[in-house]
Chain A
Amino acid sequence: AQTVTQSQPEMSVQEAETVTLSCTYDTSESDYYLFWYKQPPSRQMILVIRQEAYKQQNATENRFSVNFQKAAKSFSLKISDSQLGDAAMYFCAYRSEIQGAQKLVFGQGTRLTINP
């Protein structure tokens, strides 16, 4: 079974600076999808960014980008120019491409604090 590990329970960053959240995963599959979800205090799960494993190019969404290292099974999230609204719990998630096994497997989460 696939596992996702986020080794940083908490991170903090000064407003306007850059922070990187780590995520590693374990799988024997070659095709899969990786996601970062944000969970603000409202507890809604909001998609931040996704990466297809077959793509070598790292995904970017405005101030959010990933560093996807397939061989190392690493998928880190970089937040540039951090804003107060970025404060949240961030979850890394894995999704298999195998038919019928399409659920998301989540890591334990990293709580990000933005210091003004």
Chain B
Amino acid sequence: EPEVTQTPSHQVTQMGQEVILRCVPISNHLYFYWYRQILGQKVEFLVSFYNNEISEKSEIFDDQFSVERPDGSNFTLKIRSTKLEDSAMYFCASTRAYEGNTIYFGEGSWLTVV
């Protein structure tokens, strides 16, 4: 069964450093997402991406965050200058279309900012 894959599974970074989280969505999917889950809390939407542009973003997704699809297969989340409160599990997800199709999640990238 096709899967969403994410790398790295775990990253520790110094506060203020840039981090790039990578995702390979399922190959025939068109809509891509990043979600965040701070330890012990619910899963929060960050951003959705379609047709090479952001279709929606939450208030969490400020100027420190950016996304891109550099080569038609990878989908990346960049955090420009990490803060302690960015420590969380980051999930990439994808779906084939928006008409209620199920959103499939990757296994997550656990980011620890120290």
A74 within 8 A of B: no
Interface string of B64-103 (1 = CB under 8 A from A): 0000000000000000000000000101010100111011
If A95-B103, A97-B99, A97-B100 touch, whether A102 touches B48 (CB-CB below 8 Å) is: yes
Task: For the complex, give the distance between the alpha carbons of A101 and B33 in Å.
Answer: 12
Q: Verify B42–A102 contact, CB threshold 8 A.
A: no
Complex CA–CA separation, A42 to B108 (angstroms): 9
The verdict on A44 contacting chain B, using a C-beta distance below 8 Å, is yes
CA distance A57 to B100 in the complex (A): 17
| Alpha-carbon distance between A43 and B106 when the two chains are bound, in angstroms | 10
Asked if A50 contacts B42 (CB within 8 A), the reply is no
A35 touches B102 (CB 8 A): yes
Q: Which residue of B lies closest to A99 (CB)?
A: B98
Total chain A interface residues with beta-carbon distance under 8 A: 25
Q: Which residue of A lies closest to B106 (CB)?
A: A44
Cβ of B107: which chain A residues have Cβ within 8 Å of it? Answer: 42-44
* Size of interface on B: residues with Cβ below 8 Å to A: 27
CA distance A102 to B31 in the complex (A): 9
A84 on interface, CB distance cutoff 8 Å: no
Q: Is there an interface contact between A44 and B102, defined as CB atoms closer than 8 Å?
A: no
State A12–B37 Cα separation when bound (angstroms): 23
B residues at A contact (CB < 8 Å): 31, 33, 35, 37, 41-45, 48, 55-56, 89, 91, 93, 95, 98-100, 102-108, 110
Interface of A toward B, CB cutoff 8 Å: 33, 35, 37, 42-47, 50, 52, 91, 95, 97, 99-109
Known: A47-B104, A91-B42, A97-B98; 17 extra A-B contacts, CB below 8 A, are: A37-B105, A43-B107, A43-B108, A44-B105, A44-B106, A44-B108, A45-B43, A45-B91, A50-B100, A52-B100, A100-B56, A102-B48, A103-B45, A103-B56, A104-B93, A104-B103, A109-B42
Supply 14 A–B pairs (Cβ within 8 Å), ascending by A.
A37-B105, A43-B37, A43-B107, A44-B106, A44-B107, A45-B91, A91-B43, A97-B100, A102-B31, A102-B48, A103-B33, A103-B45, A104-B45, A105-B45
